[in-house]
Chain A
Amino acid sequence: MASSNLPRRIIKETQRLLSEPAPGISASPAEENMRYFNVMILGPAQSPYEGGVFKLELFLPEEYPMAPPKVRFLTKIYHPNIDKLGRICLDILKDKWSPALQIRTVLLSIQALLSAPNPDDPLSEDVAKHWKANESEAVETAKEWTRLYATGE
């Protein structure tokens, strides 16, 4: 494990993530690169993503924590703030980032985003349009996708 020149902060954060994981979230660093995390988020209860297991990747750039981590969904998901490539529209990942935030807070925010999609600040125009025009139908599609892509293999 090449952790020799890893900042203390990243080591501490990693230790805490492993020893006291947040409910519904797991994040573990890759063997070969301690800045790269394999993340899993469980679809929150009462959301269209309930029952799904969503894989994400999280990377801590050189400037971290002055710059935010880079996070992306690997599992296909039907959500107005997440695009086809899995990129996430979340303020704290962009201009609202603060170095006092952590990996844990970021992942909790993403989990919350699954519970509360915001079609008014869309990343995926089509999905957002669908969401606004016919929410129950859009929710059905999201459930369908969850079943198709986020359960089992």
Chain B
Amino acid sequence: MMEDSCDDEDFYDGGGDDDSDPDSVVISYDGLMDHDSDDFDDLNSSNLIYYHRSQNYAILNEDDIRQHQEESITQISTVLSISRVAASILLRQYNWSVSKVNDEWFADEEKVRKTVGLLENDTPLPADQELTCGICFENYPRDRMRAVACGHPFCVVCWKGYIGTSINDGPGCLMLHCPDPSCGAAVGHDMVNELASKDDKEKYNRYFLRSFIEDNRKTKWCPAPGCDYAVNFTVGGGNYDVTCHCSFSFCWNCVEEAHRPVDCGTVSKWIMKNSAESENMNWILANSKPCPKCKRPIEKNQGCMHITCTPPCKFEFCWLCLGAWSEHGERTGGFYACNRYEVAKQEGVYDEAEKRREMAKNSLERYTHYYERWATNQSSRQRAIENLHQMQTVHLEKLSDKQRQPESQLKFIIEAWQQIVECRRVLKWTYAYGFYLNEHEHAKKQFFEYLQGEAESGLERLHQCAEKEFQGYLNSEGPSLEFNEFRTKLAGLTSVTKNYFENLVRALENGLSDVDSHAACGRAGSSHNVGGSSGKGRGGKAKGSTSRSSSSKNMDDSGHWSCEYCTYANVRSSTVCEMCQRHR
């Protein structure tokens, strides 16, 4: 069954299997493309993590960084016929861009030399037997003196102090010059190696390594706390999501946690919104007032102005004027039209205040709605990450024992959890997106909420199956007859959910531009990217377009029919999709 799964592979990463390149999969694990396993595994693993169509970055560890750095130095040193020390000084000056160094050097070598303090000829120390140090003013024999290319003599002790002070001042030590204030001659790695203390040398080397990442426009450190990996990014393709070997995903552009399909601007607005403490103050302003009698905060949760404080106080008062309700009788113009309110209304005082409170309340309720869902998905994702880890370290082995299944046959569970983790992330960010979606663009809003709802309910089913149903098989006495059904169901849900999220991500990345063509279809047939026709079968690489040929698995040799919406392979006899309950 589902032998056309290799179409999916082609579709996603432009060809072939990729187990030779661990970077091509977000969370790499062994045997991803294990062709000996059954077809189901193959289908799901080949396109499990959908957002990684092309790899435009590489993760570097410290050795990789040093190697890259050494290579750049070798390149410049060879092409410009200069020492490695001089080459590093040049590269450091031009932010480790080999091409920039080449360009500048060949455009105006003299100017470049002057800028960085690389003298063309070495001036030897003065010939005298004894020389005076320009810092401590002491006289020393010639062999106790040092100078860089300029020949300005300073004693070894002063050099050590000079270099040590500079290293302890920070990364500026990488641009050190001769102490003579009128001289710009560069002090290179060689002087540091000879004269700095062991600790200082280490610091210097660390700055040197860091400079390669931090001053280079193509590289950044992974922002995860305690992570020492760096990322080398090749711009292009518009997808900024990067996943480090430490498993942290982040946005290359804004270095926030990965937030595809939501753009960096929305994310930064949202994060600022969340941190704005004033929202809490607004909530008080909008919803509660202190009881005039007992001073406890009382919430207004209905339309009328007659408020009764909670027991034991039970004081009845007017929300508008905070006066006792008992006084709101005939004298004040009746119960439901507090005259003071009316008076104030005429004067335009209370009216304004109340109006502002109402507005604040509405915007706050709206924000709370999105924030709550954003935050809940965040914590749910956190739990899923823990579950995934537990699965990999403990449960899978146990399950393999219980169900007498080789662990290689249980990968579908790991894949399900990986999908959950990823989907929680996407879903979370769609709530930030939703918050900023223009309320007046009704069609877009509806379309968005529809896609989001589909994705969310799919995810809930998947999450529940992976969490709750799984427990039954883990804790069963012995192998369960239904285990294969569980496998089919969970793998199916994984694939269904993946599809929903693909739709959602794609739609948001297109700015919901499909909304017009979509609106005509109505709710039931709304999967805008169903490649339903058999004309788009295998080989139809609709890369970049909104239609996905891989969804078009209709009837295959084994007699399953593939759901048009979610691609689930249903048995021939059923007329309703087992996964998404849509009619065939």
Distance of B186 from chain A, by nearest CB (Å) = 14
Distance of A38 from chain B, by nearest CB (Å) = 23
Distance of A106 from chain B, by nearest CB (Å) = 11
| A3 lies within 8 A of chain B by Cβ | no
Whether B179 lies near A99 (C-beta < 8 A) is yes
A96 and B161 alpha carbons, distance in the complex (Å)? 16
Within 8 A of A (CB), among B117-159: 134-138, 152, 154, 158
A12 and B132 alpha carbons, distance in the complex (Å)? 13
| A1 lies within 8 A of chain B by Cβ | no
Whether B180 lies near A100 (C-beta < 8 A) is yes
| A101 lies within 8 A of chain B by Cβ | yes
The answer, among A12, A13, A95, A101, for a CB contact under 8 Å with B181, is: A101
The answer, among B135, B137, B158, B181, for a CB contact under 8 Å with A92, is: B181
Within 8 A of B (CB), among A85-137: 92, 95-96, 98-101, 105
Which among A50-58, A59-67, A74-82 touches the partner chain? A59-67
Whether B161 lies near A99 (C-beta < 8 A) is yes
A99 and B172 alpha carbons, distance in the complex (Å)? 16
Whether A7 lies near B136 (C-beta < 8 A) is yes
Whether B162 lies near A8 (C-beta < 8 A) is no
Give 11 A-B pairs besides A66-B161, A100-B180 with Cβ atoms closer than 8 angstroms. A8-B138, A9-B135, A9-B138, A65-B135, A65-B136, A66-B162, A95-B172, A96-B181, A98-B179, A99-B135, A100-B154
Q: Is the interface of A mostly helix, strand, loop or mixed?
A: loop
* Residues of B with C-beta under 8 A to A99: 135, 158, 161-162, 179
| B83 lies within 8 A of chain A by Cβ | no
Q: Is the interface of B mostly helix, strand, loop or mixed?
A: loop
A101 and B138 alpha carbons, distance in the complex (Å)? 15
* Residues of B with C-beta under 8 A to A67: 165
A92 and B137 alpha carbons, distance in the complex (Å)? 20
A66 and B163 alpha carbons, distance in the complex (Å)? 9
Interface flags, B98-131, vs A, CB<8A=1, else 0: 0000000000000000000000000000000000
* Residues of A with C-beta under 8 A to B137: 8-9, 12-13
Distance of B139 from chain A, by nearest CB (Å) = 10
The answer, among A95, A100, A105, for a CB contact under 8 Å with B135, is: A100
Size of A's binding interface in residues, CB under 8 A? 17
Within 8 A of B (CB), among A1-32: 7-9, 12-13
A101 and B172 alpha carbons, distance in the complex (Å)? 19
Q: Which of B134, B137, B161, B180 has the most CB of A within 10 A?
A: B137
Whether A8 lies near B165 (C-beta < 8 A) is no
Give the nearest-CB partner of B154 in chain A.
A100
A residues near B (Cβ < 8 Å) are 7-9, 12-13, 63, 65-67, 92, 95-96, 98-101, 105
Distance of B122 from chain A, by nearest CB (Å) = 20
Give the nearest-CB partner of B162 in chain A.
A99
A8 and B155 alpha carbons, distance in the complex (Å)? 14
Whether A98 lies near B181 (C-beta < 8 A) is yes
Distance of B456 from chain A, by nearest CB (Å) = 54
Distance of A75 from chain B, by nearest CB (Å) = 27
Distance of A90 from chain B, by nearest CB (Å) = 13
Whether B165 lies near A63 (C-beta < 8 A) is yes
Whether A8 lies near B136 (C-beta < 8 A) is yes
Whether A66 lies near B165 (C-beta < 8 A) is yes
A-B contact count (CB 8 A): 37
* Residues of B with C-beta under 8 A to A96: 181
A7 and B155 alpha carbons, distance in the complex (Å)? 15
A100 and B159 alpha carbons, distance in the complex (Å)? 11
Distance of B470 from chain A, by nearest CB (Å) = 61
The 8 closest A-B pairs by CB, nearest first: A66-B165, A100-B179, A99-B135, A98-B181, A100-B134, A12-B137, A9-B137, A100-B180
What are 30 pairs between A and B in contact, CB < 8 Å?
Answer: A7-B136, A8-B136, A8-B138, A9-B136, A9-B137, A12-B137, A63-B165, A65-B135, A66-B165, A67-B165, A92-B181, A95-B172, A96-B181, A98-B179, A98-B180, A98-B181, A99-B135, A99-B158, A99-B161, A99-B162, A99-B179, A100-B134, A100-B135, A100-B152, A100-B154, A100-B179, A100-B180, A100-B181, A101-B181, A105-B181
Within 8 A of A (CB), among B260-306: none
A65 and B181 alpha carbons, distance in the complex (Å)? 13
A66 and B136 alpha carbons, distance in the complex (Å)? 10
A9 and B139 alpha carbons, distance in the complex (Å)? 11
A7 and B135 alpha carbons, distance in the complex (Å)? 11
A98 and B162 alpha carbons, distance in the complex (Å)? 9
A147 and B152 alpha carbons, distance in the complex (Å)? 45
A96 and B182 alpha carbons, distance in the complex (Å)? 11
Give the nearest-CB partner of B134 in chain A.
A100
* Residues of B with C-beta under 8 A to A65: 135-136
Distance of B195 from chain A, by nearest CB (Å) = 14
Give the nearest-CB partner of A96 in chain B.
B181
A75 and B483 alpha carbons, distance in the complex (Å)? 90
A45 and B522 alpha carbons, distance in the complex (Å)? 88
A100 and B134 alpha carbons, distance in the complex (Å)? 6
A65 and B135 alpha carbons, distance in the complex (Å)? 7
* Residues of A with C-beta under 8 A to B136: 7-9, 65
* Residues of A with C-beta under 8 A to B181: 92, 96, 98, 100-101, 105
Give the nearest-CB partner of B165 in chain A.
A66
A13 and B172 alpha carbons, distance in the complex (Å)? 29
A12 and B139 alpha carbons, distance in the complex (Å)? 13
* Residues of B with C-beta under 8 A to A95: 172
Within 8 A of A (CB), among B166-202: 172, 179-181
Q: Which of A9, A13, A66, A96 has the most CB of B within 10 A?
A: A66
Give the nearest-CB partner of B182 in chain A.
A100
* Residues of A with C-beta under 8 A to B134: 100
A101 and B182 alpha carbons, distance in the complex (Å)? 10
* Residues of A with C-beta under 8 A to B158: 99
* Residues of B with C-beta under 8 A to A105: 181
* Residues of B with C-beta under 8 A to A66: 161-162, 165
A60 and B567 alpha carbons, distance in the complex (Å)? 79
A66 and B165 alpha carbons, distance in the complex (Å)? 7
Give the nearest-CB partner of A16 in chain B.
B137
A29 and B132 alpha carbons, distance in the complex (Å)? 25
A26 and B179 alpha carbons, distance in the complex (Å)? 26
Give the nearest-CB partner of A63 in chain B.
B165
* Residues of A with C-beta under 8 A to B172: 95
